[in-house]
Structure 1
């Protein structure tokens, strides 16, 4: 049986940015949720969830040996921290946006 939960209940996330590219890594708290997250959290879904922020390609890299994922998001930082007129436009807060998405996981 599956249940729908916010990603933050089953995983943590970290972000980084370089130029106009943001990277978000997602790490399940328990490896048993890896396959469920893999099925629910696709690059297409992440791109569609925030089209006004993630304007370029979203690519998901799987890290199965560590039970994690890395999302590389292009054209996400209004040209980059130094190029943007936005006061504090880093990719740091993007992990919270991803963690707010829901995923289907196997119920215990």
Structure 2
């Protein structure tokens, strides 16, 4: 199953740090997210992009997980040569993760 089948996402950035919020479609889906999408799995999925640590925060009241990924934007918006310097495409890429 692909992650996009049970959640949608949103990406933000601050300097060289990107964060991806995964929001479950239902409470049962939130439990699947908690079990299936770990910080380690996200770090491995983005191994070519994320150079720093990945921290997962749980937001059960809204059925979401937030992943803060340090060293993910090639030095930050003003320093990166990447086409997607804000990293907005990272959340779409993550939706293709197998869980």
For the aligned pair, the TM-score class normalised by the smaller chain equals over 0.9
Partner of 1:106: none
* C-alpha spacing 1:31/1:91, structure 2 compared with 1 (3 Å): same
Partners of 2:63 and 2:81 in 1: CA distance: 37
Bigger mean CA offset, 83-92 vs 17-26: 83-92
Equivalent pairs counted in the alignment come to 99
Does residue 67 in structure 1 map to residue 63 in structure 2? yes
Partner of 2:52: helix, strand, or coil?
Answer: coil
Consecutive unaligned residues in structure 2, runs of 5 or more: none
1:30 to 26, 32, 39: 26
How much has 1:31 moved relative to structure 2? 1.4
How much has 1:93 moved relative to structure 2? 0.4
Partners of 2:7 and 2:89 in 1: CA distance: 16
Consecutive unaligned residues in structure 1, runs of 5 or more: 104-108
Q: Write 1 or 2 for the structure with the bigger share of strand.
A: 1
Does residue 83 in structure 1 map to residue 79 in structure 2? yes
Moved over 6 A (4+): none
How much has 1:88 moved relative to structure 2? 3.5
How much has 1:73 moved relative to structure 2? 0.3
